[in-house]
Chains A and B, each alone.
Chain A
Amino acid sequence: MNIKNNMKKIICLLVFSLNFILFAQRQLPNTSLKTLSGANTTLSEIAAENELIVVSLWATWCVPCKNELDAVADVYDDWVSETGVKYFAVSIDDSRTAKRVKPMINGKGWEFEILLDENSDLKRAFGVSTVPYTVIIKSGEIVYKHTGYTSGFEDELYDRIVALKN
């Protein structure tokens, strides 16, 4: 009815939330994830065993996600041998498409670790609304976050991994 008034309210909400811009989550969410064979695990458990990991949220129906994973798969051997990084692709596929994950990753010959987040618990804990969403975790702390994928992002990601390694 009153656009001006409404704009005011929207701006208030934005300003209110910008108060938080100085904050940045570093702690890992505690949410439960499933491995492909159905066992329960959490990111903290995985991070405790690995010094440097990349976690990427993806889905079988998301074209940019598959582009990212295809691109990483092409160079993954080099990444591992150069930096020792481990890449975890967390599928947010729900029961509509979750059954396609297993044949797809093998069919595509992806060699990184795959985890399942069937009810989007991790996605919610990260506060993510679209995939792909990629984070780098070093010594159990989130040190880098990125939303979306564009051609060539894998090179940028690799540069960051190398920088973090040193």
Chain B
Amino acid sequence: MNKYIVTVVIFFISIASHSQETEKTSTFNEIKDRINVSLESNSQWYLNDSETGDFEEEEKLRASSYLRIDYQISNRFSSGFQIESYVPEPLFNYSKLFDKEIGIGTFYLNYKTKKLDITLGHFYVQFGSGLILRSWEDRALGVNNALKGAKIIYDPTNYLRLTTLYGKQRKGFDVSNSNIFGFETQFDIANALQLETLNSFQLGMSYVGKQEEFKKEVATGVSQPALEIPELVNSFGAYLNLEYKNLYSNFEYIYKGEDARLNNITPNQVSFSEAALFDGNAITWNIGYSRKGFGIGSTFRRLENMRFYSERNFSNVINNPTSDLSMNYLPALTKQHDYTLANIYLYQAQPGLTVVSYESPLIKSGEIGESLDVFYNIKKGTLFGGKYGTKLSLNWSYWANLKSTYTDPSGIPYFVGDDLTYETELLNFENKLYSEINVEIRKKWTPKLKSIFTYINLNYNKGFLESKGADSFVKAWIGIAESTYKFKRGKSVRLELQHLSTNDDAKNWVGGTLEYFFNSKFGLYLNDSYNYEESKITENTKIHFFNLGGSFTKGSTRVGINYGRQRGGLLCVGGVCRPVSKNTGVTLNFVTTF
């Protein structure tokens, strides 16, 4: 592998030194202007902790590092690669697929003109809102599901875009054992027909196919089901965007082709029920109105059996907590909060089909719900606006499990011959999983002093979401107040106080942050979350989950160091989460671009 890296590096350096036509003296400047290098390294030294226990894994010092180099070869050609290092092991709770110490994670060669955009190698892509296909990278989560193959984007006119792709999905440093085909067309009708009345009128259509062999299980004592499991799973999508004056609407529908259902009766084993096939679908509709000083937007979404993996074997969520080999993007549509206590009771989208209990089957086949946002700017000089105006935002969301009824003709539970099927209702919001209402007020008191007040009231169906049991709700409210005072020359101080109140689960928490910037480059912070009330859930009781650290920023370089104790739970970025265990240690983050 090291030889491979050296070859690639030499290749790029030689391209770099040959691609210029001007005299020798400017060669260096030429390369300098055309190259982009970025380096990121996140490392942690895990420590034993008298409160939360010893760190029991062998490797205590871990790092995930990325070196990405992009080079503009000529006006039309560009190329790049990313070296990833997980020496000696990736950060704790990362995907087990990154088992190699160092290697080329992705590489590409791109050709781009005004009408044509061709990529060979690894590429990232999203069709529509990503419900049918999305490949992306998130280093904080350890997600990189780029496709490796070829992507061609062709714009024959300024109102039509055609995208065709073929690839295999990235699987650690390897690729998936399947083929992915995709096609999308984006048609800008308003532009094509020169419609003056509409700001926007667009139609998109897409197809995604996954070809993967299905290995039939050899069942003993049961007659083999006669059903053929499709090798090619076809999905189709369509979306329509409309904008008229201050109103807008985006509608999207996805149909996912039939496939076998995961049979997860034994958590660590992956097997499939081969006697019944299930298709999936997704509907999302977003409407809104906005003008200066006021905006309102609402999103409805219904997902049924929408998990889509490039290898079926990865559909067992228990074995695959990091959602490796996921082909589409199914985030929770609740508001994403930045504060620690607001991230304890987190709703995660429930898009998949699973039979939870087999005695009297409890079927999770998807979710349905709604989210509403209102933004309002109270004008300067009014009673509530004050001298500088006041910014309000309100968010409400409600999510429920799809209501379904099952039939099980043969009565054979959980073997390959299981022919259990289910029916769902289209619009039934009865089985509540989560609801939340939150209000944020941003207020500038003086040119130097600003505050943000946040109130969150949530209902979290812990029983249903975290275990196989019946409904049991955590009802909690969280209040957060933060203020920043700005001194001269970039010096500032920020204080943030949080409180979570509930009589359920682990009961009350208190938290806070104090942050001080000596100038715009260098700052220190201290924060803490503390579950101070006695309850039946003692896991976190009376333990200070504190963090103490600092950061130094200069231009595009940032170095951060942190010492602290992390609460176990979900680490979520952009709606995708990975579970992290409780840990204590010193973290060093370094990122720079040249």
Contact = CB atoms under 8 A, between A and B. Distances in A.
Interface of A: 1-3, 6-7, 9-10, 13-14, 16-17, 20-27, 29-30, 32, 37-40, 60-63, 66-67, 70, 74, 94-100, 102-109, 118-121, 124-130, 133, 141, 144-148, 150-153, 155-156
Closest 9 CB pairs of A and B: A107-B375, A127-B38, A103-B295, A96-B331, A96-B575, A106-B290, A25-B36, A107-B295, A151-B492
B365 interface: no
A24 B594 CA distance: 4
B291 A127 contact: no
Interface string B408-450: 0000000000000000000000000000000000101000001
A99 B289 CA distance: 12
Given A30-B112, A95-B331, A99-B250, A104 B200 contact: no
B391 interface: yes
A148 B293 CA distance: 27
B245 to A, nearest CB: 12
Given A22-B32, A25-B35, A104-B393, A152 B520 contact: yes
Contact of B329 (A22, A94, A150): A94
Contact of A147 (B102, B295, B557): B557
A38 B295 contact: no
A37 B489 CA distance: 39
B250 A128 contact: no
Contacts of B337: 61
23 contacts: A9-B87, A23-B32, A26-B33, A40-B161, A94-B329, A94-B331, A95-B331, A96-B331, A97-B575, A106-B291, A107-B290, A108-B375, A109-B389, A118-B129, A119-B134, A125-B36, A133-B556, A144-B555, A147-B553, A150-B490, A150-B517, A150-B520, A156-B520
A146 B555 contact: yes
- Candidate in B31, B39, B188, B575 with the most chain A CB atoms within 10 angstroms: B39
Interface of B: 31-41, 43, 58-61, 63, 65, 67-70, 72, 78, 83, 85, 87-88, 101-102, 110, 112, 117, 124-126, 129-131, 134, 136-137, 139-140, 153, 155, 161, 188, 191, 199-200, 202, 241, 243, 248, 250, 286, 288-297, 299, 329, 331-333, 335-338, 373-377, 388-389, 391-393, 442, 444, 450, 452, 484, 486, 489-492, 494, 517, 520, 523, 551, 553, 555-558, 574-575, 591, 593-594
- Candidate in B291, B331, B489, B520 with the most chain A CB atoms within 10 angstroms: B520
A100 B202 contact: no
A27 B72 contact: yes
A97 B486 contact: no
B489 A23 contact: no
B136 A129 contact: no
Given A27-B36, A38-B202, A96-B574, 6 more contacts: A23-B32, A23-B594, A37-B199, A106-B293, A126-B36, A127-B70
A141 B32 CA distance: 12
A109 B124 contact: no
Contacts of B523: 150
Nearest to A26: B33
Contacts of A126: 36, 38, 593
A38 B116 CA distance: 19
B329 A95 contact: yes
Nearest to B130: A95
A20 B491 contact: no
Contacts of B31: 23
A150 B337 CA distance: 19
Contacts of A29: 36, 70
A152 B518 CA distance: 12
Contact of A107 (B37, B39, B41, B374): B374
Nearest to A20: B37
Contacts of A16: 67
A148 B125 contact: no
Q: Which applies to chain B's interface (DSSP): helix, strand, loop or mixed?
A: strand
Contacts of A30: 78, 110, 112
Contacts of B291: 106
B486 A13 contact: no
Nearest to A125: B70
Nearest to A16: B67
A23 B243 contact: no
B124 A124 contact: yes
Contacts of A37: 199-200, 243
A113 to B, nearest CB: 15
Nearest to B138: A120
Contacts of B297: 99-100, 102-103
Given A27-B33, A152-B490, A147 B574 contact: no
Contact of B292 (A22, A23, A32, A109): A109
A128 B59 CA distance: 28
A136 B514 CA distance: 31
Nearest to B35: A23
Contacts of A124: 68, 124, 137
A108 B68 CA distance: 36
B299 to A, nearest CB: 5
Contacts of A94: 130, 136, 329, 331, 574-575
Given A17-B37, A38-B188, A128-B593, A152 B491 contact: yes
Nearest to B329: A95
A60 B371 CA distance: 15
B336 A96 contact: yes
A113 B224 CA distance: 62
A157 B117 CA distance: 35
Nearest to B70: A125
Given A17-B37, A107-B374, A127-B68, A1 B333 contact: no
A97 B377 contact: no
A70 B389 CA distance: 11
A23 B37 CA distance: 8
Nearest to B58: A1
Contacts of A14: 39, 41
B34 A102 contact: no
Nearest to A21: B594
B41 A24 contact: no
A14 B124 CA distance: 27
Contacts of A96: 331-333, 336, 574-575
Contact of B124 (A70, A105, A119): A119
Nearest to B523: A150
A60 B565 CA distance: 28
A108 B200 contact: no
A22 B337 CA distance: 38
Contacts of B117: 32
Given A10-B41, A133-B556, A107 B294 contact: yes
B241 A38 contact: yes
Contacts of A133: 556
